[in-house]
Each structure stands twice: as C-alpha cells, then as structure tokens.
Amino acid sequence: MLLDHVYLSLVPLVVSVALAIVLGLLCHRFRQVNAALIGISNIVYTIPSLALFAIIPAVIGTQVLDPVNVILALTVYTTALLVRPVAEALAAVPAHVTAAATAMGFRPLRRFLTVELPLAVPVLAAGVRVGSVSNISLVSVGALIGTGGLGTLFTDGFRQRYLAPIIIGIVLTLVLALVVDLLLVLLRNRLTPWVRAGGAP
C-alpha cells in the first residue's frame, strides 16, 4: 500500500519535472508560448482531480479504475504547477552570465544544460517540493475511485467505523511527505554547491 502510494505520487513528479523543464524552456524562448502556457496551466487548476480522474479515461480510452488515470492527472497538475517557476527562473539568470558562457564558445544546448538550468535549480526545487507534498496527499483521493495507495486505509477505516487505520494512514502520509521533502532538500543542496559557498550567480 505504501509502495503503491510512493509509486503513484513520485512517477508523476519525475515525469512532470522533465516536462516542465522542456515547456519552461519554450516559454523562456518564445513569448507567445509563455502567454499560452500560463493561461492553460491556470485553466488546468479549475479542473478538480476527481473530475480529471473521470475525464481522462473518456479522452484516452483507459478503464475508469486504471491507476494510469491517477498518474496522468497528477502529472498534468504538477507540470502546470512547475512550468511557471521554471520559466521565471530561466528569465532571472543574469544576462552577463549567459553572455559570458556564449563568449566562452558554449553552444545554446550546452549553455542551457550547464549554465542556465543549474542556476534555475533553487527556484525549481521550491516548486518541486510543493508539488511532491501535494501529490502525496492527493493520491489518497484515488482511493475513492478504487486505485490503491494509503487512501485505502481511509476508506476501509470509514466503512468499518474504525479510527486506527485512518490515523495510521494520516501518519504514514505525513511521514512519507516529510521523507521525500528531506530527500529533495538534500538533492537541491548537492546540485547547488555555490549556494552554501556563499557565491552569487
């Protein structure tokens, strides 16, 4: 159950980080894309996840009870959540830094991967932390449509009018969120050694 929960909440997180980096780059390079994507991600937030769990099977033809629906729904949300911070972080990279990289002979792709993206990590990490916490607590709603995870403890406990599983479910969710958050902070620190060294980009 716990493993299901980890799987259902972290797969969307990883996929959406990758998607958000690509989309954020597009936003950063093309202004029209930026306006369009910010608009779309605002609209995405008006769709409730329980509703999205319902609409995804209608659109892509999966079974209503397929866990893929939950993964897809959370991926859509988290990507929408992350696109804006990525685009803003890339826009915030000082012009003289990119100019210096260009002058050193970095081609656009290498400049993006080795200069701009690492400098965007602190802001991206803040977004990913919020995304991971909300994913972990959201997955339990999937129990209402019958996809595993810790939410099953809530529905079981409620049906049997029994508090223990519910409390265990809440505690496990909190612990899981805390552990993942700590790991993300460690990862961020590994990726941004210059922050601890006290140097500004």
Partner 1 sequence: MFADAFGWLVDPVNWSGGKSIPVRVGIHLLYCLGAVLGAALIAVPLGLYVGHTGRGGVVLVGGSNALRALPTLGLVTFLYLVAGGGTTGVLIGLVVLAVPPILAGAYAGIQDVDRGVVDAASGMGMTGAQRLWRVEVPNALPLLVGGLRNAMLQVVATASVAAYVGIETLGRPLLDGLRVLDYGQFVGGAILIALLAVVLDVVLAGLGRLVVPAGLRLSAKARRAGSPKARSGGSQSRRRGEPAPVESGGSTA
Which of 188, 181, 191, 67 is closest to 134 using CA atoms?
A: 181
Residue 11 touching partner 1 (CB under 8 A)? no
With respect to partner 1, which residue has the nearer C-beta, 20 or 111? 20
According to DSSP H, which parts of the chain are helical?
2-29, 31-44, 49-60, 67-91, 95-103, 108-111, 117-138, 151-159, 163-191, 193-197
The DSSP code for 64 is T
Residue 102 near residue 111 (C-beta atoms within 8 A): yes
Cα Rg of the chain (Å, integer): 19
Q: How far is the CB of 199 from partner 1 (least distance, A)?
A: 16
Per-residue binder mask for partner 1 (CB under 8 A), 13-32, x = binder? --------------------
Residue 58 touching partner 1 (CB under 8 A)? yes
Q: How far is the CB of 134 from partner 1 (least distance, A)?
A: 3
Residue 150 touching partner 1 (CB under 8 A)? yes
Among 19, 20, 21, 81, binds partner 1 (CB under 8 A): 81
C-alpha distances (whole Å) from 64 to each of 70, 151, 196 are 10, 17, 48
The DSSP code for 47 is S
Residue 62 touching partner 1 (CB under 8 A)? no
Q: How many residues bind partner 1 (CB under 8 A)?
A: 59
Residue 92 touching partner 1 (CB under 8 A)? yes
With respect to partner 1, which residue has the nearer C-beta, 52 or 111? 52
Residue 197 touching partner 1 (CB under 8 A)? no
